[in-house]
């Protein structure tokens, strides 16, 4: 008879260590992001993953309220291994927890924006690097308010099929957060850039724009060069709308647009931006009801996995 399996090796989300990867079967256990411990104790924590399951500001197909759950589920495939392309276990180099989801009353939509800002602000003010799983793209406005309160105005690097610069006509939508954030002075627009755009909008709000056709012509090396030149050395915030990817790579989204980036091109570009002074990020617009075989959720989870590797790589190389 073989030795019984150590129960401490299961359900790392509740019972395991704060540091290091776990080794649970992908198909079992509590599904936090990459099996990180669920915790709201931020003492000694370097980075926090949390969800904002909100989709009441969508203009087309709903369903992104289920995005955080789907991304967490997809992230289990990364459990316990050195991660590609860094070959690092990010959780050896930093303490990361899953904070759970933003708390709000879905019947009181007028309160949601402020609640996102307050809860995100508490995490950022505690000195933690905040990574947010959306949710529709309207959540980026209160997230930016929370980050800017600590870090000051930030460059925004936005991967997106849409510019989200439509006029805010009394209520914020997922297509107007850039307009609102620019008007509030949250964004350093002279250093900001949008990648993968393939729709038209009334204004660019001062952002540089690399449309999807130009992105294809540039390839990942050219995109990296253009983004780094634009953003420079100051603080930056990453907002990754999953519809930046072509629907072949991200069918599970509310407003899909053909002709977008491939997963490989987007991930290669993100990894090439690892020396930028990142202050926080979100990945938004994952809508599981339209997903097939978790294609979109896997792509979104991999974006976050690459971002965590960037944070770990910076710590590793700074030693």
Tokens representing 10 are 């299961």
Tokens representing 34 are 């990459």
C-alpha 222/C-alpha 306 separation (Å) is 19
C-alpha 268/C-alpha 265 separation (Å) is 5
DSSP 139-201: GHHHHHHHHHHHH-SBEEEEE-SS-------SS--TTSHHHHHHHTT-B-GGG-EEEEE-S--
Q: Is residue 241 marked as binding?
A: yes
Which residue's structure tokens are 């690892």?
Answer: 274
Cβ atoms within 10 Å of 2's Cβ, excluding its own = 4
C-alpha 279/C-alpha 281 separation (Å) is 7
Nearest of 146, 213, 214 to residue 184 by alpha carbon: 146
Q: Is residue 188 marked as binding?
A: no
**Is the dihedral angle over the CA atoms 279, 125, 49, 62 positive or is it negative?**
negative
Nearest 5°: phi and psi at 252? -85, 75
**Is the dihedral angle over the CA atoms 266, 267, 268, 270 positive or is it negative?**
positive
What are the distances in angstroms from CA 154 to CA 185, 200, 269?
9, 24, 20
Helix (H) or strand (E) holding 279: strand 277-284
Q: Is residue 306 marked as binding?
A: no
Q: Is residue 122 marked as binding?
A: no
Q: Is residue 164 marked as binding?
A: yes
Nearest of 280, 305, 266, 287 to residue 174 by alpha carbon: 287
Cβ atoms within 10 Å of 293's Cβ, excluding its own = 9
Give 184's strand partners: none
Q: Is residue 292 marked as binding?
A: no
As annotated, the binding site for Mn(2+) includes 137, 160, 162, 164, 241, 243
As annotated, the binding site includes 137, 160, 162, 164, 241, 243
């Amino acid at each position: 008879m073989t030795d019984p399996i150590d129960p401490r090796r299961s359900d790392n989300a509740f019972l395991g260590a704060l540091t290091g990867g776990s080794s649970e079967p992908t198909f079992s256990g509590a599904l936090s992001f990459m099996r990180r411990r669920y915790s709201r104790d931020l003492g000694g924590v370097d980075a926090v993953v949390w969800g904002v399951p909100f989709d009441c500001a969508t203009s087309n197909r709903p369903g992104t309220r289920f995005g955080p759950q789907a991304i967490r589920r997809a992230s289990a495939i990364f459990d316990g291994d050195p991660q590609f392309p860094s070959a690092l276990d990010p959780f050896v180099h930093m303490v990361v927890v899953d904070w759970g989801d933003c708390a709000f009353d879905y019947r009181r939509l007028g309160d949601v924006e402020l609640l996102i800002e307050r809860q995100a602000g508490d995490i950022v003010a505690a000195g933690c690097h905040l990574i947010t799983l959306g949710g529709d793209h309207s959540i980026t406005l209160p997230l930016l308010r929370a980050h800017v309160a600590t870090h000051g105005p930030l460059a925004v690097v936005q991967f997106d099929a849409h510019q989200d610069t439509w006029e805010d006509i009394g209520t914020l939508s997922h297509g107007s957060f850039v307009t609102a954030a620019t008007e509030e002075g949250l964004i350093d627009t002279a250093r900001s850039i949008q990648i993968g755009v393939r729709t038209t909008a009334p204004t660019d709000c001062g952002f540089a724009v690399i449309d999807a056709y130009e992105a294809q012509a540039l390839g990942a090396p050219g995109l990296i060069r253009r983004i780094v030149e634009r953003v420079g050395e100051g603080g930056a915030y990453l907002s990754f709308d999953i519809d930046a990817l072509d629907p072949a790579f991200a069918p599970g989204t509310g407003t899909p647009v053909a002709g977008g980036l491939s997963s490989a091109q987007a991930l290669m570009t993100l990894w090439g931006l690892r020396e930028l002074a990142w202050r926080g990020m979100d990945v938004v617009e994952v809508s599981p009801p339209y997903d097939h075989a978790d294609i979109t959720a896997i792509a979104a989870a991999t974006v976050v996995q690459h971002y965590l590797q960037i944070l770990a790589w910076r710590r590793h190389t700074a030693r």
